[in-house]
Protein backbone atom coordinates (compact mmCIF):
# COMPACT_ATOMS: atom_id res chain seq x y z
CA UNK A 1 0.00 0.00 0.00
CA UNK A 2 2.81 2.40 0.85
CA UNK A 3 4.47 1.55 -2.45
CA UNK A 4 1.37 2.74 -4.32
CA UNK A 5 1.33 5.99 -2.39
CA UNK A 6 5.03 6.61 -2.97
CA UNK A 7 4.69 5.78 -6.67
CA UNK A 8 1.77 8.17 -6.96
CA UNK A 9 3.69 10.93 -5.18
CA UNK A 10 6.77 10.45 -7.32
CA UNK A 11 4.66 10.59 -10.50
CA UNK A 12 2.98 13.80 -9.37
CA UNK A 13 6.33 15.39 -8.49
CA UNK A 14 7.94 14.51 -11.80
CA UNK A 15 4.92 15.74 -13.72
CA UNK A 16 5.25 19.16 -12.07
CA UNK A 17 8.95 19.50 -12.77
CA UNK A 18 8.60 18.47 -16.41
CA UNK A 19 6.14 21.11 -17.50
CA UNK A 20 5.35 21.23 -21.19
CA UNK A 21 7.29 23.85 -23.09
CA UNK A 22 5.26 26.80 -24.26
CA UNK A 23 5.96 29.51 -26.75
CA UNK A 24 7.54 32.59 -25.12
CA UNK A 25 5.04 35.21 -24.05
CA UNK A 26 5.48 38.59 -25.66
CA UNK A 27 4.05 41.84 -24.37
CA UNK A 28 1.12 43.20 -26.34
CA UNK A 29 1.80 46.22 -28.48
CA UNK A 30 0.76 49.50 -26.81
CA UNK A 31 -2.51 50.90 -28.06
CA UNK A 32 -2.66 54.59 -28.85
CA UNK A 33 -5.46 56.31 -26.90
CA UNK A 34 -8.32 57.73 -28.89
CA UNK A 35 -9.51 61.29 -28.55
CA UNK A 36 -12.59 60.43 -26.50
CA UNK A 37 -11.23 57.36 -24.74
CA UNK A 38 -11.88 56.50 -21.13
CA UNK A 39 -8.18 56.79 -20.29
CA UNK A 40 -8.09 60.38 -21.46
CA UNK A 41 -11.12 61.20 -19.36
CA UNK A 42 -9.57 59.60 -16.29
CA UNK A 43 -6.19 61.22 -16.84
CA UNK A 44 -7.61 64.74 -16.90
CA UNK A 45 -8.46 66.17 -13.48
CA UNK A 46 -11.94 67.51 -12.98
CA UNK A 47 -11.99 71.26 -13.50
CA UNK A 48 -15.20 71.84 -11.60
CA UNK A 49 -14.45 74.26 -8.76
CA UNK A 50 -15.83 73.35 -5.35
CA UNK A 51 -18.59 75.84 -4.73
CA UNK A 52 -19.36 76.21 -1.03
CA UNK A 53 -22.83 74.94 -0.29
CA UNK A 54 -25.42 76.90 1.59
CA UNK A 55 -26.73 75.52 4.88
CA UNK A 56 -30.01 74.66 3.15
CA UNK A 57 -28.17 72.63 0.51
CA UNK A 58 -26.15 70.83 3.17
CA UNK A 59 -29.33 69.93 5.05
CA UNK A 60 -31.16 69.06 1.81
CA UNK A 61 -33.90 71.58 2.51
CA UNK A 62 -35.89 72.76 -0.51
CA UNK A 63 -38.16 75.82 -0.74
CA UNK A 64 -41.15 73.54 -1.43
CA UNK A 65 -40.86 71.74 1.93
CA UNK A 66 -43.41 72.46 4.62
CA UNK A 67 -42.42 73.46 8.16
CA UNK A 68 -43.16 69.95 9.41
CA UNK A 69 -40.97 68.39 6.73
CA UNK A 70 -38.14 70.82 7.51
CA UNK A 71 -38.43 70.08 11.20
CA UNK A 72 -38.37 66.30 10.58
CA UNK A 73 -35.34 66.60 8.30
CA UNK A 74 -33.44 68.74 10.81
CA UNK A 75 -34.31 66.34 13.62
CA UNK A 76 -32.99 63.39 11.60
CA UNK A 77 -29.78 65.21 10.67
CA UNK A 78 -29.22 66.39 14.24
CA UNK A 79 -29.46 62.83 15.58
CA UNK A 80 -27.06 61.56 12.92
CA UNK A 81 -24.40 64.24 13.25
CA UNK A 82 -24.63 64.78 17.01
CA UNK A 83 -23.40 61.20 17.45
CA UNK A 84 -20.52 61.84 15.06
CA UNK A 85 -19.43 65.00 16.88
CA UNK A 86 -17.66 62.93 19.53
CA UNK A 87 -15.82 60.69 17.04
CA UNK A 88 -12.10 60.05 17.46
CA UNK A 89 -11.59 60.60 13.72
CA UNK A 90 -10.90 64.30 13.20
CA UNK A 91 -12.32 64.30 9.65
CA UNK A 92 -15.67 62.88 10.82
CA UNK A 93 -15.69 65.25 13.79
CA UNK A 94 -15.13 68.31 11.55
CA UNK A 95 -17.86 67.22 9.12
CA UNK A 96 -20.25 66.73 12.03
CA UNK A 97 -19.39 70.16 13.45
CA UNK A 98 -20.01 71.81 10.06
CA UNK A 99 -23.34 70.01 9.69
CA UNK A 100 -24.47 70.91 13.22
CA UNK A 101 -23.67 74.57 12.47
CA UNK A 102 -25.70 74.37 9.24
CA UNK A 103 -28.61 72.75 11.12
CA UNK A 104 -28.62 75.61 13.64
CA UNK A 105 -28.56 78.23 10.86
CA UNK A 106 -31.48 76.61 9.01
CA UNK A 107 -33.45 76.14 12.23
CA UNK A 108 -33.00 79.78 13.25
CA UNK A 109 -33.96 80.93 9.76
CA UNK A 110 -37.17 78.89 9.64
CA UNK A 111 -38.26 78.74 13.28
CA UNK A 112 -36.70 81.81 14.93
CA UNK A 113 -34.03 82.15 17.59
CA UNK A 114 -33.28 79.16 19.79
**Domain coordinates of the chain in residue numbers?**
65-111
**Cα–Cα distance for residue pair 22/52, rounded to 1 Å:** 60
Prediction pTM value: 0.55
Nearest C-alpha neighbor of 81 from the set 70, 71, 95: 95
Share of the chain above pLDDT 90, in %: 34
Q: Give the pLDDT confidence of 82-102 residue by residue, as tens digits.
A: 998 988 999 999 999 999 999
pLDDT at 6 (0 to 100): 59
For the cut 90, the answer to whether the pLDDT of residue 68 exceeds it is: yes
Instruction: Answer whether residue 21 shows pLDDT above 80.
Output: no
pLDDT attached to residue 79: 93
Amino acid sequence: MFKKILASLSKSQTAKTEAPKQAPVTAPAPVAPTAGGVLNQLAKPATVPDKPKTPEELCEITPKMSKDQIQAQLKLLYRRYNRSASSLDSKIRKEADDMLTAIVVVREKNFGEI
